């Protein structure tokens, strides 16, 4: 049995002990539609296991209602800004409500692809060369340095939104304009041609474990928003078909990347493998991965014997806070009380 699953089946709190649970879904990001699909799946899975779970859309309700309505835990099924970027995590820290996934700092860093790359490079981890640009002219200059093909994308957006694969200098202006509509921080990245894989991770620190690698084969290599969520044209290969030693090396690399950012709970890292050298290159890490019918973490977990329902419950059981608040606020007198 997967060690992560075995741990939570043995030590996790029962559905009744988890109390009233909010599944945060929807939100205000460009990934709202996907988040609603993720949240619906999680909500159904938790309720099927006896969890007192309720959908909660921060775009329609104030987060302060979580405390007023007695929610004890939150499952974060939000994607993108105001959900995956540390903002909701910070609000839940202030409210004192444990939540799934990474804490404030790791969530914020992982959402910013440029900051993620800087941390990985500081730890000696491989990631493609890049440039930060603020205009179409700078995008053209980056293309001249990074070469063709080059990927232009928003630094703080997900689900391939605003992404363009540039193969000609004439495309630079439109590519920059598209990315800049999603974020004022635009990233130009050297394209790596080869196998595309994704590797989920579950757990905390040195107890974190990787799930089976998934190799992604998209039509014409175009793994865009539509092919991610709304078509069945993309192939997801698990087992991935890579040589055993290569898959093990990628798993070890992803674990280092996960720990470098300080992730906890779960995440999914995207990796490109250079077709010529077989060198793996880290692209990004997602700290609130999708949980839709097309999502890759449930697919990988299933290949390792973890059902969708067990995955959802285990993630909820792992919900935590960055820090436990003191019993007395600053400036108060007296000895802290203990239950």
The residues annotated with a catalytic role in the active site are 31, 159, 229, 268, 270, 284, 286, 290
d(CA 226, CA 236): 15
DSSP 220: G
CA angle, 80 then 86 then 87, to 5°: 85
Structure tokens at 249: 């090396």
Structure tokens at 316: 């909820």
CA distances to 19, 52, 63, 137, 264 from 72, rounded to whole Å, are 6, 10, 13, 51, 19
Which sign, positive or negative, has the C-alpha torsion 107, 120, 213, 255? negative
Stretch (H or E) spanning 88: helix 87-95
Q: Which residue has the tokens 């099927």?
A: 48
Contact 176, 169 (CB under 8 A): no
Contact 34, 42 (CB under 8 A): no
Residues ≥6 apart with Cβ < 8 Å to 321: 92, 93, 96, 97, 98, 99, 103
Contact 88, 37 (CB under 8 A): no
Contact 92, 107 (CB under 8 A): no
d(CA 173, CA 180): 11
Phi, psi angle pair for 319, to nearest 5°: -55, 140
Stretch (H or E) spanning 73: strand 73-76
């Amino acid at each position: 049995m997967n060690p992560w699953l075995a741990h939570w089946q043995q030590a996790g709190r029962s559905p009744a002990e988890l109390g009233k649970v909010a599944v945060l879904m929807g939100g205000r990001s460009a990934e709202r539609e996907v988040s609603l699909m993720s949240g619906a799946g999680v909500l159904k899975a938790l309720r099927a296991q006896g969890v007192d779970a309720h959908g909660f859309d921060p775009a329609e309700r104030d987060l302060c209602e979580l405390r007023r309505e007695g929610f004890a835990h939150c499952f974060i099924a939000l994607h993108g800004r105001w959900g995956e970027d540390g903002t909701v995590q910070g609000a839940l820290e202030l409210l004192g409500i444990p939540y799934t996934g990474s804490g404030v700092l790791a969530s914020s860093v992982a959402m910013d692809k440029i900051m993620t790359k800087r941390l990985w490079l500081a730890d000696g981890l491989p990631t493609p060369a890049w440039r930060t640009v603020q205009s179409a002219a700078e995008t053209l200059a980056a293309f001249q340095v990074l070469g063709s093909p080059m990927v232009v994308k928003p630094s703080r957006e997900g689900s391939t939104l605003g992404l363009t694969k540039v193969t000609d200098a004439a495309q630079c202006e439109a590519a920059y304009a598209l990315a800049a509509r999603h974020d004022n921080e635009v990233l130009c990245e050297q394209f790596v041609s080869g196998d595309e894989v994704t590797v989920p991770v579950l757990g905390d620190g040195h107890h974190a474990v990787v799930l089976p690698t998934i190799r992604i084969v998209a039509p014409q290599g175009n793994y865009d928003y539509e092919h991610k969520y709304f078509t069945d044209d993309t192939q997801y290969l698990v087992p991935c078909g890579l040589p055993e030693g290569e898959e093990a090396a990628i798993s070890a690399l992803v674990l280092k990347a996960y720990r470098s950012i300080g992730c906890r709970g779960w995440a999914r890292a995207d990796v490109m493998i250079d077709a010529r050298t077989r060198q793996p290159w880290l692209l990004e890490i997602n700290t609130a991965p999708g949980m839709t019918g097309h999502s890759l973490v449930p697919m990988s977990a299933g290949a390792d014997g973890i059902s969708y329902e067990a995955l959802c419950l285990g993630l909820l059981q792992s919900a935590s806070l960055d820090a436990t608040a003191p019993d007395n606020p600053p400036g108060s007198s007296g000895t802290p009380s203990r239950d």
